[in-house]
Amino acid sequence: MKQILSSLKLVSATAGLMLLPTLASASSILESDDFVGISFWLISMALVASTAFFFLETQRVEGKWKTSLTVSGLVTLVAAVHYFYMRDVWVETGSTPLVYRYIDWLITVPLLMIEFYLILRAITNVSGGVFWRLMIGTLIMLSAGYAGEAGYISPLIGFVVGMAGWAYILYEIFYGEAGKVASDQAPESVQSAFSTMRWIVTIGWAIYPLGYFMGYFTGAGPEASAASLNIIYNLADVINKIAFGVIIWNVAVTESDKAKA
């Protein structure tokens, strides 16, 4: 009797263990009508491919452009890994992976800001102050936004302070030292890249505070607008991370070929 009981226990424990992963993976399989989940998958893969591309292309450009391309690859690499996690959170729970987004932003946004500094550095002398001002604006913008969303401060205060940080960044790249160096000293290809990057930071980035605003101040609540918000954020990241990198790749290749000719 004792033996039968213990072997029964063993059988059920084994069956349970075998069932566990089946259950877990059953719930995490992407449904064919989960378009938000599908967008998470598409962007993850696009980010992986872009990373490979940017890293490989560093071999093709002149030395002084290599760092810019490496940083573009780091942005898409860090984002790709976060997208894997965000995708799983979404597919398993249908909820917004807020904390992963902010960790991703905390690493990728400063790297994107460094790109402004790097492409100016590649063509002329530019002070370290540009770098620090862009960094400070970024940190203010993101920490205020996170504190507001996570409930450490009121969402309104988080929003207002976050907007001030973003305004500071925009001021620097349009009218500050960075903007002046670009318009006074940069060759044409760099000027046009700089100007497109600037518009990405203005228009492309506006999507994130807009999402914050819709989530907190229109009465819809962050959960109600979760699906549309995630699709919008995902598409925004294609422009703000991949297209941004491609612009830098383009100017690096153009300037390198010019130097070779």
Ligand X SMILES: *C/C=C(C)/C=C/C=C(C)/C=C/C1=C(C)CCCC1(C)C
The site for ligand X (CB under 6 A) is made up of 105, 108-109, 112, 141-142, 145, 159, 162-163, 166, 205, 208-209, 212, 237, 240-241
> What CA–CA distance (Å, rounded) separates 44 from 32?
17
Q: Which CB, 62 or 207, lies closer to ligand X?
A: 207
| Minimum distance of ligand X from residue 233's CB (angstroms) | 8
| Minimum distance of ligand X from residue 141's CB (angstroms) | 5
Both tokens of 73, joined, read 């690859």
| Minimum distance of ligand X from residue 205's CB (angstroms) | 4
Nearest to 55 by CA among 74, 42, 36, 29: 74
Ranked by CB distance to ligand X, the top (closest) residue is 145
Q: Which CB, 58 or 76, lies closer to ligand X?
A: 76
Q: Which CB, 60 or 81, lies closer to ligand X?
A: 81
Q: Which CB, 237 or 255, lies closer to ligand X?
A: 237
Burial class (CB in 10 A: 0-12, 13-18, 19+), 138: buried
> What CA–CA distance (Å, rounded) separates 46 from 193?
22
| Minimum distance of ligand X from residue 143's CB (angstroms) | 9
Q: Which CB, 64 or 207, lies closer to ligand X?
A: 207
Q: Which residues of 13-40 are buried (b: 16+ CB within 10 A; e: fewer)?
A: eeeeeeeeeeeeeeeeeeeeebebbbbb
Residue 96, Cα to own-chain centre: how many angstroms?
15
| Minimum distance of ligand X from residue 112's CB (angstroms) | 6
Both tokens of 222, joined, read 């962050």
| Minimum distance of ligand X from residue 175's CB (angstroms) | 18
Handedness of CA 104, 105, 106, 109 (dihedral sign): positive
Which DSSP symbol is given to 175?
T
Q: Which CB, 80 or 91, lies closer to ligand X?
A: 80
